[in-house]
Amino acid sequence: DQQVKQNSPSLSVQEGRISILNCDYTNSMFDYFLWYKKYPAEGPTFLISISSIKDKNEDGRFTVFLNKSAKHLSLHIVPSQPGDSAVYFCAASAQGGGNKLTFGTGTQLKVEL
């Protein structure tokens, strides 16, 4: 049972344009969401997070949007840079869940020159 889904396994974007990565979840108990970036053979790097009391959080080029009614979140990267090319995972946790994270399946982003 995949509680966190990233339906696009890959995404290709031109440098300078906006990258939009999507994530859907099914567990209504999730109340904290995170995005991580991962290179092969490395651990995930934390990018940005959002609590369920908010619908938007912005940090530099990264913005995360949360639509609770649709159980959907998205990560916007603008402008996209070649160094952004990596696998992006969304993750979710539930209050009272001991901070355990449930990860999505990942989206491979490729930013082309």
Partner 1 sequence: GAVVSQHPSWVICKSGTSVKIECRSLDFQATTMFWYRQFPKQSLMLMATSNEGSKATYEQGVEKDKFLINHASLTLSTLTVTSAHPEDSSFYICSANLQSTDTQYFGPGTRLTVL
* Residue 94 beta carbon to partner 1: minimum distance, rounded to whole angstroms: 10
* Residue 32 beta carbon to partner 1: minimum distance, rounded to whole angstroms: 5
Nearest Cα to Cα of residue 18 among 89, 99, 98, 79: 79
- For partner 1, the binding residues (CB under 8 A) are 32, 34, 36, 41-46, 49, 89, 93, 98-106
Q: CB of 31 within 8 A of CB of 17?
A: no
* Residue 56 beta carbon to partner 1: minimum distance, rounded to whole angstroms: 18
| Minimum CB distance to partner 1 smaller for 53 or for 113 | 53
Q: CB of 48 within 8 A of CB of 21?
A: no
